[in-house]
Structure 1
């Protein structure tokens, strides 16, 4: 099966579509339908709904699988998926509106706007809370199958209590020095919004985002979703799907979790942002610049949006765990054109990361625009292809026509190898790491990753030999 799927997708990816893909809608639909089916078979996806748009035009909407495997109810475009932390995009947008109106200053301490924050948090900037670089602790821990706040049988009963739990723990690091994704950061933002508007967070989000954009299928909490439209969450365990049975989040946590939505509603949100309907595009382009960390490097969150820069594009969005992702991509400025990718699933047997799924659609919809996504998809196909001539074909493509700048190729192949290892195991990823070491025999990093993969397979002798080779290459010349 893997060989057949790989051959089908390599053929599809070989067809170079125009940048907008609007000239071949029928062909694009066929190719993306094939990609969704391939993803479902590769990763054991229960059900999925996908939308791709370019410059305001929806190029593709498609589904496959079941929104409820227990009843075999099919996923549809109108199915409502648990998007979880995509909720943070609404919260970030509401804060960005206040920034644009000069009502809040991202560099000012959040305590200027929120009364009663813990003493240790008094000087932490609003930007650090938005970008998960505050250093504060979480307001709950995992206890068995449930989330529990310290001192309570379950989660803290209200927002003030939850903030007190987080504040009672030691700071994890100096604010602004590094990143630690923490839901408690967004409790502070929820408190800020409620203090400013003097109403509950859901009412603020409805009035300022959901209602103006007619996002009528978006809400919070599983209980808010009609049973006939609910995509029931599943999780992978030992390669098999099983019901996720997730605890609902309290309503004070809706600023960071428990969002329920459709591909159409997420498209409305991203389209509105891309065209300046919620926040001016010039403001967004400024706020989506990377934050420099005092510990070195840049934060991969920009005003709370997961941000990458690849193929000349700024790509912003957020995931909802491994299951869902919404992404907006633009080159230079939003006015010069933008892409929207929304990929919603209700779980997969392999718990495949949502960025892999989104990039598979980017590779098909606009291969000339997103060569790194094409590389990722080609390498996945290669890892799963058991034919004897696959390696030579892959070498030739990497040498002649992959589209990724030479200086970025080794690192990109290496990163894709780790993603493949996560989804399919070390044995499948071994092919990719071995190929990278063949292509870049003087790279200490390539040999180190190959050694690590052999070690994961229990092949200690081979791993030790390769680690020694990597170490020797890493030594500076005398």
Structure 2
């Protein structure tokens, strides 16, 4: 798809979805020009974008090719690998358990999982969701675990890296334990839990996990009809190469989810309209968790808490840039950008948000 056809395609979408006001249309044109330039500069085969404000999808569109080999265009139904952005959807479902009274952020982890080491006795649920548990980084060990129980067993046999709640370290063991807790509390396997609480409830038909597995030289995965192929740009040979990220099943609360821009927009609209969570429990997602010294963690429940100018900003990125979500909770404005180019380093949502707001925040 050429830059000219991308521009015409995206502009027609934005013109339909956005109000007819001239200034809104001009903002859409600037956003389209920016994204088109990023696609060219960073060799992005496909990109999807959405802007949601106060429950209304203000702009949604897709660019380029979901699969280059077979020349499959990207659409609003194309599923992209979210990597660590997966945590935001898992966190939403976790907050739903909290609102139902089935989970307590201040409760000890040992209340929900039996047989834990004595060194874990002070560890709270909030320590897991905000990466302040001290649990060893299981992904860094590069071991293969066939189940969440095996991962939990490995975590409990290693000493904690630090006393729970004393500092924040982004690591790969916290959400494996959280997966076990979710299954214990809900009474169903994690993927079924996510389908029941989010995907089925919101009609997210292009969201799920591919269940990729590796056995020596054999790799298998589920078919995902609308999934984009992920690529990495070879700068030396000036060509795309196929890139694959294998998320073991025990990591699925933290990464591995595929979803489309259409599905993610449905999720954000549901947050804006409080149909999934009441305002009180939704705000827990992006309220900084307290460390034991009463200082703020940079995380709420899975969501990074930061600033955009003087406004509170929250969200996450993953890939390093397969997915990027930024939300201004006070204004209920959310920007989502999905790509299938793993080489991309810049985070695009902040720039799109600046263009949408026509501000100069840094």
Q: TM-score range by the shorter chain?
A: 0.7 to 0.9
Tell me the secondary structure at the aligned position of residue 89 of structure 1.
helix
Q: How many residues align?
A: 332
Are 1:310 and 2:308 matched, yes or no?
yes
Q: Cα offset for 1:136? A: 0.8
Deviations 1:199-219 (A, max 9, x none): 111111111111111111101
Alignment match of 1:352 (pick from 345, 349, 352): 345
Higher relative contact order, structure no. (Cα contacts within 8 Å, ≥ 6 residues apart): 2
Tell me the secondary structure at the aligned position of residue 350 of structure 2.
helix
Deviations 1:185-204 (A, max 9, x none): 11111111111121111111
Q: How far, CA to CA, are the matches of 1:118 and 1:279 in structure 2?
A: 34
Tell me the secondary structure at the aligned position of residue 50 of structure 2.
strand
Q: Cα offset for 1:253? A: 2.7
Tell me the secondary structure at the aligned position of residue 90 of structure 1.
helix
Task: Confirm or deny: 8 A CA contact 1:133 1:175 kept in the other structure.
Answer: yes
Within 5 Å, give how 1:55-454 maps onto structure 2. Answer: 55-141=54-140, 148-149=142-143, 155-221=144-210, 223-227=221-225, 229-236=226-233, 238=235, 241-247=240-246, 249-294=247-292, 298-322=296-320, 323-331=322-330, 337-349=331-343, 351-353=344-346, 356-368=347-359, 371-372=360-361, 375=362
Q: How far, CA to CA, are the matches of 1:188 and 1:295 in structure 2?
A: 24
Q: Cα offset for 1:348? A: 4.7
TM-score, structure 2 as length reference: 0.84
Deviations 1:104-160 (A, max 9, x none): 221121111122334322320100100001111122336xxxxx31xxxxx211111
Deviations 1:300-355 (A, max 9, x none): 11111112123343222222222211232132xxxxx4112110001154x314xx
Deviations 1:362-392 (A, max 9, x none): 1211123xx32xx5xxxxxxxxxxxxxxxxx
Task: Confirm or deny: 8 A CA contact 1:91 1:190 kept in the other structure.
Answer: no
Gap change, CA 1:302 and 1:21, over 3 Å in 2? farther
Task: Confirm or deny: 8 A CA contact 1:120 1:167 kept in the other structure.
Answer: no
Deviations 1:27-82 (A, max 9, x none): 33322221111111232222111111212222212222321233343322221101
Q: Cα offset for 1:238? A: 4.8
Q: Cα offset for 1:225? A: 4.7
Task: Confirm or deny: 8 A CA contact 1:330 1:339 kept in the other structure.
Answer: yes
What is residue 40 of structure 1 aligned with on the other side?
39
Which range moves more in the overlay, 282-291 or 317-326? 282-291
Q: How far, CA to CA, are the matches of 1:245 and 1:364 in structure 2?
A: 32
Gap change, CA 1:292 and 1:38, over 3 Å in 2? same
Q: Cα offset for 1:287? A: 4.7
Q: Cα offset for 1:102? A: 2.8
Gap change, CA 1:209 and 1:180, over 3 Å in 2? same
Structure having the larger proportion of residues in helix:
1
Gap change, CA 1:136 and 1:111, over 3 Å in 2? same
Tell me the secondary structure at the aligned position of residue 168 of structure 2.
coil
Q: How far, CA to CA, are the matches of 1:22 and 1:209 in structure 2?
A: 33
Tell me the secondary structure at the aligned position of residue 95 of structure 2.
helix
Q: How far, CA to CA, are the matches of 2:299 and 2:292 in structure 1?
A: 15
Gap change, CA 1:95 and 1:246, over 3 Å in 2? closer
Q: Cα offset for 1:268? A: 1.1
Q: How far, CA to CA, are the matches of 1:141 and 1:279 in structure 2?
A: 34
Residue ranges of structure 1 left out of the alignment (5+ in a row): 1-19, 143-147, 150-154, 332-336, 376-478
Gap change, CA 1:259 and 1:22, over 3 Å in 2? farther
Q: Cα offset for 1:294? A: 4.6
Q: CA RMSD in A?
A: 2.3
Task: Confirm or deny: 8 A CA contact 1:315 1:329 kept in the other structure.
Answer: yes
Q: How far, CA to CA, are the matches of 1:116 and 1:235 in structure 2?
A: 43
